[in-house]
Amino acid sequence: MGMEAVPLSTPENRLTAIVTLAAAVDGVDIVVGAHEGLVYSVEAPNPDMQPYAEELASISAGYVETVTTRALAGKASVIVASHRDKSLLVADIGEGYTVAVLGEPSAISALLAPVRRIVEGKPLQCPKCGALLEVFTQTCPRCGRRVPFGAPSCPFCGADLSIKACPNCGASLRLVEERLEPVEEAKAAREAAMKPERREAVSIAAPRLPLGIGLGAATLGAAVYFLLAAAFGFPMGEAAIAGALPIAVSYAVAIAKSK
């Protein structure tokens, strides 16, 4: 059976989606969902970080309140800051719900865009089957680390990850400006954009000539040919037979270039 798109209309669903994604990304130590500063759910890929769950739940609410107070236009939905020797991502889900993700700077930076899309209710979905793909990870083919499915490149080694396969239907997809497009459609669009330039290049390389100029040039060439034949003492009859084909070709070319 195919995967159905998970609705993100409630804070609980958005929180679950972010926790599911973040806990599966390499370099993440702990993910804490909180409600009004109290622990709501915990995922700790690094068990040593489990004791910090309550602290992270508390400071995530504090970060949201502080940034909202300082914001000039509305409140920030996703915040990244340094915490201890790690990086911390805090997402404001709404209605008092927050998520705190603590881990390596590279992992946190890779999570910034997908978490923001989930919070805003604009997650990546497969254009072929409609599956919600934001909660999935992919394995970098170069370094083997797990990164968010929506990452355009590996945050650990820099490998290009813009082309990927849908884990539900297998469609080949390309990530273009925070949306997924079927690879064949993206290729067709690029080819269509290139065609006018190719037509222009052909017209510049092979310009049309006025018929009068072309015929005049052919006639001049024929006259020069017979003058040279006379100068070197060739019989005119033999010269006419020998030059008939080249002269005819020059006239044909002149007519063809005028069309």
Residue 72 has pLDDT above 50, yes or no: no
Is a pLDDT exceeding 50 seen at residue 231? yes
Closest residue by Cα to residue 120 from 105, 134, 136: 134
For position 65, what pLDDT does the model report? 77
Judge whether 19 and 8 are in contact, CB under 8 Å: no
Whether 143 and 38 have beta carbons less than 8 Å apart is answered as: no
DSSP state of 48: G
Residue 223 has pLDDT above 50, yes or no: yes
**Across the chain, what does the average pLDDT equal?**
80
Q: Considering the domain 11-186, what is its CATH architecture?
A: 2-Layer Sandwich (3.30)
How does residue 83 score in pLDDT terms, banded at 50, 70 and 90?
A: confident
Please write the tens of the pLDDT for every residue from 15-39.
999 999 999 999 999 999 999 999 9
Q: What are the φ and ψ backbone dihedral angles of 167, each rounded to 5 degrees? A: -70, -10
Taking the C-alpha atoms of residue 64 and residue 58, their distance in angstroms, rounded to an integer, is 10
Does residue 6 have a pLDDT over 70? no
Answer with the residue of higher pLDDT: 162 or 211.
Answer: 162
- Does pLDDT of 239 surpass 60? no
pTM: 0.67
| Domain range list for the chain | 11-186, 211-257
Cα 127 to Cα 68: distance, rounded to the nearest angstrom: 35
Candidate ranges 65-69, 211-215, 231-235; pick with highest mean pLDDT: 65-69
Q: Average pLDDT of 90-107?
A: 94
Name the pLDDT band for 61 (thresholds 50, 70, 90). confident
89 has which bridge partners?
A: 80, 101
Q: Closest Cα partner for 115 from 40, 20, 29, 180?
A: 20
